[in-house]
Amino acid sequence: MKHSIYTVRLLLAGLLATSLLPMTPAAAAASDKADAIVIAAAKDRATDTADRNGAEKSAAAKDAPDRGTGGLDTLPTLKERLAALRAKAQVGEDGDVETIPDSTGIREVKDRKTVSEETADEEEPAKKDEKAKTKKEKKQRFQEILRDESYTYYLDTQSARWIPMPKSGGEKILDVWIRLVDRGIGEATEEGAGDGEGTSPAKYFLEHYYIRPEKQQIQFLSELEVTGRPQNTINERAYSAQNWESLVPESVEDAIYHAVLDRMKKKNRTGSILPDGMSVRDGLEEFLHISI
């Protein structure tokens, strides 16, 4: 053991002495050549290692799934996700928001109309026309109440009133004037018949009636044939209890009776405490005995 240690010490001392002594030119050239061989071998090993690492990365990338177009097989594709979004945002009967994919992405269609809303939109112009017609009729003195094959009948709403029936003990009857316009004259003339500004057809008839709702009877008083403007000189037969006529179904008098009562009821649908068709003036005269 001691001999081995001594031998190693001698070798180390010899190597140290050799390294400290100056080298000959041949020895220096051989040492440089050896160093070059060692460096070249190291570079070759580095190149092989880089190529091997690159090949392994390429193989791993090839075997890996394409995450940019769909991800793993267990994940939904972009097309499937869009379909799911569309199904989730589909508009129901209550009409909220519908999500629809298009070429530029996803756009929202808001306030989708239901069938009932579209029907309401279609009915809206009809309602406006009806309101305009009703408003116009309220301004007209002569308002259309009836049509048949020969005439159009207009009620004079300005003179129509409730009056006490003579010798009746308080029963009320309607006193009305009806204008009859021949339909052969033309629609333009008929439209003028109801004008509240005084325009009248060239020729028409005026008929004066008493209407008795309590007994469903009517009494004819007079008829005037008017060309231009009527004169205030008329000959009417006097009221008589014997002149009341019961209504014959589908007769002209029956149609006038019911049309007048319907119009007077509409006229009085304003919350008034007065009987149907009774004016304020008639009410004051009847209940407070005040004449105006």
Q: What string of pLDDT tens digits covers the 292 residues of the chain?
A: 545 565 556 666 655 555 555 556 766 676 677 667 767 777 777 777 777 777 776 666 666 555 554 445 556 788 788 788 877 766 454 455 444 445 444 454 445 556 566 666 666 777 777 777 666 666 789 999 999 999 999 999 999 999 999 888 889 999 999 999 998 875 544 455 555 455 668 889 999 999 999 999 999 999 999 988 888 888 888 999 999 999 999 999 999 999 999 999 887 654 444 555 556 666 666 555 566 6
Asked if 153 and 214 sit in the same domain, the reply is yes
Asked if 101 and 197 sit in the same domain, the reply is no
Kindly calculate the radius of gyration of the chain based on its CA atoms and give it in whole angstroms. Answer: 56
Using CA atoms, how far apart are residues 235 and 86, in angstroms rounded to an integer?
Answer: 83
How many CB atoms lie under 10 A from the CB of residue 88?
Answer: 8
Residue in 32, 10, 12 with CA at minimum distance from that of residue 23: 32
Number of domains in the chain: 2
Tokens standing for residue 120: 């309401």
Asked if 102 and 146 sit in the same domain, the reply is no
Asked if 155 and 282 sit in the same domain, the reply is yes
Answer whether 0.85 is exceeded by the pTM: no
Let me know if residue 159 belongs to a domain: yes
Asked if 93 and 232 sit in the same domain, the reply is no
Asked if 105 and 142 sit in the same domain, the reply is no
* H-helix or E-strand spanning residue 255: helix 252-267
Let me know if residue 55 belongs to a domain: no
Residue 152, φ and ψ in degrees, nearest 5: -110, 130
Residue 251, φ and ψ in degrees, nearest 5: -80, 170
Q: What is the largest CA-CA distance in the chain?
A: 174
Using CA atoms, how far apart are residues 161 and 282, in angstroms rounded to an integer?
Answer: 7
Let me know if residue 104 belongs to a domain: yes
* H-helix or E-strand spanning residue 107: strand 105-110
| 185 DSSP 8-state letter | G
Let me know if residue 31 belongs to a domain: no
* H-helix or E-strand spanning residue 222: strand 217-227
Let me know if residue 172 belongs to a domain: yes
Using CA atoms, how far apart are residues 272 and 288, in angstroms rounded to an integer?
Answer: 16
Residue 259 near residue 153 (C-beta atoms within 8 A): yes
Let me know if residue 199 belongs to a domain: yes
pLDDT score of 71: 47
Using CA atoms, how far apart are residues 266 and 157, in angstroms rounded to an integer?
Answer: 12
Asked if 98 and 152 sit in the same domain, the reply is no
Asked if 205 and 275 sit in the same domain, the reply is yes
Asked if 188 and 88 sit in the same domain, the reply is no
pLDDT score of 86: 78
Asked if 102 and 149 sit in the same domain, the reply is no
Let me know if residue 217 belongs to a domain: yes
Asked if 106 and 184 sit in the same domain, the reply is no
Asked if 95 and 224 sit in the same domain, the reply is no
Q: Which residues contact 216 (CB under 8 A, 6 or more apart)?
A: 246, 247, 257
Residue in 134, 177, 131 with CA at minimum distance from that of residue 154: 177
Residue 184 near residue 201 (C-beta atoms within 8 A): no
Using CA atoms, how far apart are residues 144 and 259, in angstroms rounded to an integer?
Answer: 9
Query: Where in the sequence is the domain holding 152, given as residue range(s)?
Result: 138-288
Let me know if residue 235 belongs to a domain: yes
Identity of the amino acid at 9: R
